[in-house]
Amino acid sequence: MNARVQAPELPPALEWVNTDQPPTLAALRGRVTLLHFWTFDCVNCLNLLPDLRYVENKYHDGLSVIGIHTPKYAYQREATPVLKAVNRHHIRHAVANDPNYLAWQAYGVSAWPTVAVVDAQGQLAALLPGEGRRQEIDTLVAHLLDEAAARDMRVYESSVPVQRPEPRLPLRFPRRLLVTDSVLWIADSGHNRILECTHEGRIQRQFGSGNPGFWDGRNQDAGFTEPQGMTLLKDALYVADTGNHALRRIRLLTGEVETVAGTGACGYDVPNDALEPTKLAMSAPTAVVGMGERLYFTLAGQHQIWQLDLIKNRLAVFAGNGQLDLIDGDGPAASFAQPSGLALLGQQLVVADAAASAIRLVRLLDNRVSTLVGMGLYEFGDAPGRRDTARLQHPLDVCVDPRGLVFIADSYNGKIKALNLRSGEVRALNLPYRLNEPAGVAVAAGALWIANTNAHEIVRVDLSSGQIRRLNFSE
């Protein structure tokens, strides 16, 4: 952008979720300001956060970052879930919710995410849509700060971090569960660790140091970043290490953690026989299941399901053409929209296709993709009924009951729903318990287990009696 124009002031109607002192562009003169337009359901927005954190730290003495949350879903119009998302993703700059798209329209934004760059004179220097632009943002910020210094108008004071923290509890934003007849594994995502527990909540082992990082090691000497989906295969626990864009393996006999795929950085490589799985960059694996010598895992950032052959040590695209959409068909022709949850149903994969608010089915025999529930990227809601009329709102996980029920973590509706594969009916479970953005479900040991993510807890529902209880965790 050559000819700069004055950047619009932030609308006074914005609802600031984590500060009582809303920033204004007028008060930020002398500093470079990045306005980050995002929505917390969008994987591309989340992939951009490390880049913003990088430049925020590098230029702390002259740069301010402001988040403008512009929602896709009805659930996101309220400030409370936005604050939860801010804390879940460790955002320490001021964030406003903009449910009526006032700032979005004022700046002419057309896509999530977009970064508006405002120079030290309050002029709009650039509008940068999309992720993966760290170097471009870094170079532009450095140039604008040097420009301000040359004009003797640069302000060198550091920004003051803001926050409204979560309560200190044993779990922090647990995202996924894996349960056997005797063991409960929890992806304690906000603490960057995997916990191995008894069914009563006694913690037996911890994998991951608790700090975000990417390194192999044993038990607590390893590093995870926001881990999510897990699967058990032989004597190993495989983990979708979402924040590290990698697949990890925990050898349960020894506690050794090792990387089996991914580089630790976000990327969009295409699998090929010449590239080792640990040399291939991918984007946001969120769920994984295993059968025989193969792993199947979702890549929310690439809108695909990939396969890892553990014998040949080779990756391949199993289904999805990489385009954000809801299209059925043979594996390479089908489209997904941030697939986030997986479950095995015989010789089929059941997929929680989050951004399509859909439940999909993929046949392992021929990779054929079909839709069980859902109509499109913006056809979401909260409606029970037949599969063709039922509506969900950003479901994040699924599990399968032996009786033929698919339990759905209908996350943005705050409900658990059940899809009867025989009748095709979808209904919400009538649970006398408040769920707050549940992101994980599992069925085992006669119970339905729920990761009640934004309440930082695990809930157990007895399937025979309907009794519900919250697990109390202890070392």
Q: Does pLDDT of 475 surpass 80? A: no
> Tell me, what's the pLDDT at 3?
80
Q: Does pLDDT of 310 surpass 90? A: yes
Q: Does pLDDT of 231 surpass 90? A: yes
> What's the CA gap between 423 and 353, in Å, rounded?
21
Which CATH fold would you assign to the domain 176-470? Neuraminidase (2.120.10)
> Tell me, what's the pLDDT at 19?
97
> Tell me, what's the pLDDT at 403?
79
> What's the CA gap between 291 and 410, in Å, rounded?
26
pLDDT tens-digit profile of 319-343?
Answer: 999 999 999 999 999 999 999 999 9
> Tell me, what's the pLDDT at 273?
85
For the chain, give every residue range classified as CATH 2.120.10.30. 176-470
> Tell me, what's the pLDDT at 159?
87
> What's the CA gap between 423 and 384, in Å, rounded?
13
Q: What average pLDDT score do residues 402-427 get?
A: 95
Burial class (CB in 10 A: 0-12, 13-18, 19+), 439: buried
> What's the CA gap between 268 and 131, in Å, rounded?
12
Q: What average pLDDT score do residues 285-296 get?
A: 97
Measured CA distances, 359 to 179, 263, 286, 343 (Å): 22, 30, 16, 11
Q: The tokens of 151 are what?
A: 């004009």
For the chain, give every residue range classified as CATH 3.40.30.10. 5-150
Name the DSSP class of 215: B
The rounded percent of the chain whose pLDDT value lies above 90 is: 96
Q: Which of 175, 154, 290, 292 is nearest to 228 (CA)?
A: 175
> For the chain, how many residues are written?
475
* CB distance 30 to 118 below 8 Å: no
Q: In whole numbers, what is the pLDDT of the chain averaged over residues?
A: 96
> Tell me, what's the pLDDT at 342?
98
Helix axes 43-58, 134-150, angle to 10 degrees: 40
pLDDT class for 274, splitting at 50, 70, 90? confident
> What's the CA gap between 451 and 122, in Å, rounded?
44
pLDDT class for 160, splitting at 50, 70, 90? confident
* CB distance 185 to 171 below 8 Å: no
End-to-end CA, the chain? 56
> What's the CA gap between 203 and 21, in Å, rounded?
41
Q: The tokens of 139 are what?
A: 């170079």
Q: Does pLDDT of 2 surpass 70? A: no
* CB distance 362 to 319 below 8 Å: yes
> Cβ contacts of residue 325 below 8 Å, gap of 6+?
303, 335, 336, 337, 356, 377
Q: What average pLDDT score do residues 463-471 get?
A: 94
Q: What is the CATH number of domain 5-150?
A: 3.40.30.10
* 377-408 burial code (b ≥16 CB/10 A, e <16): beebebeeeebeebbbbbbbbbbbeeeebbbb
pLDDT class for 1, splitting at 50, 70, 90? very low
pLDDT tens-digit profile of 122-153?
Answer: 999 999 999 999 999 999 999 999 999 999 99
Give 272 or 442, the one with higher predicted confidence: 442
Q: The tokens of 145 are what?
A: 């700060």
> Tell me, what's the pLDDT at 51?
97
Q: The tokens of 399 are what?
A: 């599990």
pLDDT tens-digit profile of 69-93?
Answer: 999 999 999 999 999 999 999 999 9
pTM: 0.96
Q: What average pLDDT score do residues 423-451 get?
A: 96
Backbone angles phi, psi at 371, to 5 degrees: -110, 125
Query: Cβ atoms within 10 A of the Cβ of 27, count?
Result: 11
pLDDT tens-digit profile of 239-269?
Answer: 999 999 999 999 999 999 999 999 999 999 9
3-state secondary structure of 144: helix
